[in-house]
Structure 1
Amino acid sequence: MSVLRLLGTALGMSAIAACLTALAPSLAESVGALSVPQATVDAAGADVLVLHLVGLLAWLAWAWGALGLLLTAASALPGLAGDLAAGTVRRVLPAGARRAAAIALGIGLGIAPPALGVAAGAVDGTTTTQELARPTVRSAVPDWAASTVPERQPTHVPDWAAPAPAGVPDWPQVAAGEHVVVRGDCLWSIAERRLAAGTGSEPTSAEVAVAVRAWWQANADVIGPDPDLLLPGQVLRPPVLP
């Protein structure tokens, strides 16, 4: 869990509570006014009754959100407490709200980037090898073109060009189990779908968070240091989950 995101979310909820305290009637006043609606309308008008109703609904929405965030944070705890919180949050929040709460709290993302220096070194080495190989290719192509292309062009070029209308696949060929990123994908949704397909049931937020970390570590050379940034066309290898 990311401490900075946890503190930021707590400050945001505190700011919303402060705004509600300043702008909306207190809970006691709203409950008292709504318990005798006719008397409230006769004494202060219908608009005051509506104000109390809106204020009460706003406080209920804030309390529901705060409870969901608290349970989502507790679901990352190990042992029975985390399991109990995960089971409770599945009953309190729908799937979309659980995903948003987990992202807001940074569950599964508050870890150091995995061994990117080694991957970068490997990429640099590959690039250097390719650059060293290019002069050989460039020196060989003119010799081949000068000796063979003029003789074979009249007979072989039409045969070679004929298969071109078949086209080239839009996406790279991938092995079984690999995932090609499309627009709108994120590690959370990918990991959640794979867990649901593998177990046949909806995974908990804590299980998805563990899977997100595993997907990132297994594909650090493709994703890079930011797990929230996926590009369409990237091919991700499935991690080995416990």
Structure 2
Amino acid sequence: MAIHLDKISTRAPKGSVKEKIKTKTEKILSELDDLQNLLYAESKHAVLLIFQGMDASGKDGVTRNVLGKLNPQGVMVKSFKAPSEEELAHDFLWRIHNHCPARGMIQVFNRSHYEDVLVTRVHKMIGDTEAKKRMASINAFEELLANSDTHILKFYLHISPEEQQIRLQERVHNPQKQWKHNESDFEDAKHWKTYVKMYEDCFRYCNRIPWQIIPADQNWYKEYLVAKALHELLTSLKMKYPDLEEADRRSAEKLIHNQ
């Protein structure tokens, strides 16, 4: 089924009580701490969280407020900026694959391989034909990860243009946020409708692993939904701590591998 962003609210449902939702989030985060420890100890599954969204949709904030409370030994974060000269000399997924999570780890992509079919199309760096080829490659890439025990959660942080402008202005006037200011963000905001169309293409053509559209105008609700989705995924894995026999077997395998 096609996803049309203009039909989806950017805010929490009417009647949602902020303090109650925040209390639920705190409980979830407490349980996530134990689940992450279990993920790391069992070391059979990897988790990849992909955050996409318009500028100022809160990718940094949700990473900090949800994942920042977990053990830093088990979480890695990668932000994909404009590709370097070396990266441009390879296929567009070359720079992505090296940052995919090992078993036992949670990896966050703050922007991801989807930038190569979003920014590149909006600014006419590639055409529709090349974009469709890249989206087919993305499907195959994500399928490869899924077949290698990597569980992928793809989040689109759905912010309204009005809220985006408020947040971009905060980056100009709030001294604590001025470090985030980038004049090009205001220019990119002028391409809002085009970005929406390109995102909707991603939802349509890269949906073998489904997207979750997260209302992002209110940070407390956004963080609740992301934490809840991660909690549900980790719980569904039915993980167990390795017993002594399993631990001894792993030690023996490492010794053999290192000889």
Which TM bucket (shorter chain)?
A: under 0.3
Q: Please, what TM-score do these two structures have when normalized by structure 1?
A: 0.23
| Pair member with larger Rg | 1
Q: TM-score, normalised by structure 2?
A: 0.22
More helix as a share of residues: 1
